[in-house]
Amino acid sequence: MNGRQPCNKIITDVILSPNAVLPEFFVKNTTTASKRSSLLTKCVRDVLEFAKEDSNRVVFALKVGLAMLLVSLLILIRGPFDFFGTNILWSILTVGVMFEYTVGTTLYRGFNRAIGTLVAGIFAIFVIGLTIVGGPRGEPYVIAISIFLVGAATSFVKQWPSFVTYEYGFRVTLFTFCLIVISTYRLENPIRTAVERLYSISIGAAVAVGVNVLVFPAWAGEQLHDELVDGFYSVAESLEECGKSYFSGEGLDQTGVQCKMANEFPADLAHWKCRAMLNSSARMDSLEIWAKWEPPHGRFRHYYHTWSEYVKVAAVLRHCAYEVMALYGCLRSEIQAPSDLRITFQKEILEAVVDAAELLRSLAGDISNMKHSPQLDRLKRVHVSGDRLQRSLDLQFHLLLISQNSGPCPADTVPLAQPRWSYHEAMRKQNRRLFSWPSRGVDELEDDRGEGGPRMRAAESSASLSLATFALLLVEFVARLDHLVEAVDELAATAKFKQETSLI
């Protein structure tokens, strides 16, 4: 014993080789844990992104929680609960059913709820009176017959065209009547119970309306206003992107069939915004109905009869968006004009596109700021661009047909510049890319009849028509802008926009 203390620690240093094989259960547990962690992270990320897209969603959720808390206090506090009893639960049910995203929707559903509940309460009290007169033996028969008659009557009347708007009110009538009549069966004082439940429903409706109006209100009219402005900007952006893509050779790289395989313009955000504008008809109609129920507020104090004008402007704008979608169809069509032929009309097409997009943005700015500035100068500029494109079409396609037929050029026209590749070579290259047209392959175009055969001439003519279709659709879009400007002028007059003088 040299005075040394014995060491009780055992140190083990294990080094696994890179080729070591871990137990199967350990590998499975590790993989499962990592998958759960990644799935949880993805869910949290998706929730945060969803909340960032529209912060009003979080506000709406908090408002619903606040309203439910307020009506729940009537149960948690002993005084109101001793007065109403378990009937106070109807106020919680009313808040859950009535509370909606916007003030107009809540008032609209609240009105239907109030009328439906009032009618159901009157019917229920009348039926309860009949059950008291009929006695215990006739009570179940009276209740059963009344439920059948009310259910059949409400379900039939709500299908009437004039009452389709109030379909929710008829459902509330049937729902409330059945619950009141069935739940008061075998009670000592059913009429008093029915009246107390009506009071509870009124309390829930008042809480729902009060919280929605007073706590960070979301107005349906303001949403309709903003969506119309966004629609103008979406159509303008889509038009410009389509024009730029047409001359960047995008249509030559991807055909219509390939585009369908790629889920139709997957990376083109402007295209999807334009499609969203086309699909917004039902939502805007609903927002119009809900906006009419909202009281005057903010900058929309004189807007009771104006919301229908918003829908009219949106309808005209959708007709313009249809033309833009048709232009996208030309961009992705099977038969494409070669880039050298497109350049012939590049200046005129781009001028018309830029001027039309500028007019749309100007109209969007006027609606957004609730101001009315004369658009006559911009509209004239768009018309000049459209007329210039139309004249260029007449002239250049006349020369193209003459050059294809190898005939003499008129004295008052200037021959087209020779492209870098021959026209037939460009058409041959394009047809090699089109695997679905013509159906019997490209080799048939290069048979013994040479480059001037009827198949090649048909392909050349189709390419010319593809370019002409794109240009004529743009001319039609320019023509429709007149109706859009008129609709915006009517909206400005009805909504009493602030008049401004033109600065152009």
- pLDDT of residue 431 exceeding 60, the answer is no
pLDDT at residue 415, rounded to an integer = 42
Task: List pLDDT tens digits, range 261-291.
Answer: 334 454 467 778 888 888 888 889 989 988 8
Fill in the amino acid letter for 426.
A
Q: How many Å apart are CA 77 and CA 494, to the nearest integer?
A: 51
Confidence of residue 30 (pLDDT cuts 50, 70, 90): low
With contact defined as beta carbons under 8 Å apart, do 93 and 204 qualify? yes
Calculate mean pLDDT across residues 10-20.
51
Read off the DSSP letter of residue 101: S
> Could you tell me which of 422, 420, 444 has the C-alpha nearest to residue 432?
444
Between β-strands 498-499 and 371-372, what pairing exists: parallel, antiparallel or unpaired? parallel
Q: How many Å apart are CA 427 and CA 445, to the nearest integer?
A: 10
Question: DSSP secondary structure string, 148-188?
Answer: HHHHHHHHHHTTSGGGGGGHHHHHHHHHHHHHHHHHTTT-S
Task: List pLDDT tens digits, range 235-267.
Answer: 999 999 888 888 876 555 554 444 443 344 544
Three-class SS state of 459 = helix
- pTM score: 0.74
Exposed / middle / buried, residue 120 (Cβ in 10 Å: 0-12, 13-18, 19+): buried
With contact defined as beta carbons under 8 Å apart, do 187 and 193 qualify? yes
pLDDT at residue 298, rounded to an integer = 79
Task: List pLDDT tens digits, range 440-453.
Answer: 444 444 444 444 45
